[in-house]
Amino acid sequence: MSPPPPDAWASAFLANIATAWDARCAAIGNKGRIVGASRFGPSHDDTDERLVLALAAGPHQRVTIVIRDTRRIDIVAAEGVPEAWAWQFADAGRLAGDGPALIAAIEQTLAACAGMTAEATGAFDAIWRPVLAKGPRRIA
């Protein structure tokens, strides 16, 4: 499922992400199941335009990514088992790269979900650390 076309976005940043997503959508669909790609505009209680991507990496594995026009990215990946989580990962930050870098990280996340265990979720940190800025850093 594709998000609205790039010209439907008020944010040039989200239009770039939508273009990158469209370019890799078929390949991502082969690695996992695309559950939904939705656009949410500013509402009375929230001023951000955002794109929400919902992916299924396996039968009980879900990856949800919220991309805001402020460049903030929220990622939640988890595998549910009856009444518990087999593993879960959550991270957030500002996108340090561009649309293709984000889509590459999403593809790597889907690939990492295969065979994931609670002890190995550090693999997700390795994927997202170069893509997400966490705040001001001292320049040496």
Instruction: Please count the other Cβ atoms lying within 10 Å of the Cβ belonging to residue 59.
Output: 8
pLDDT bucket at 7, cuts 50 / 70 / 90: low
| pTM given for the model | 0.83
- Categorize the per-residue pLDDT at 46 as very low, low, confident or very high, splitting at 50, 70 and 90: low
Beta partners for residue 52, in sequence order? 38, 66
- If one compares 137 and 25, the residue with the highest pLDDT of the two is 25
Average pLDDT over residues 33-44: 68
**Max avg pLDDT among 34-38, 87-91, 97-101, 112-116:** 87-91
Give the span between the Cα atoms of 6 and 11, in whole angstroms: 9
CA distance 1 to 39: 12
Locate the domains of the chain by residue range. Answer: 6-130
pLDDT at 73 over 90: yes
Q: How far apart are CA 125 and CA 112, in angstroms?
A: 11
Average pLDDT, the chain: 83
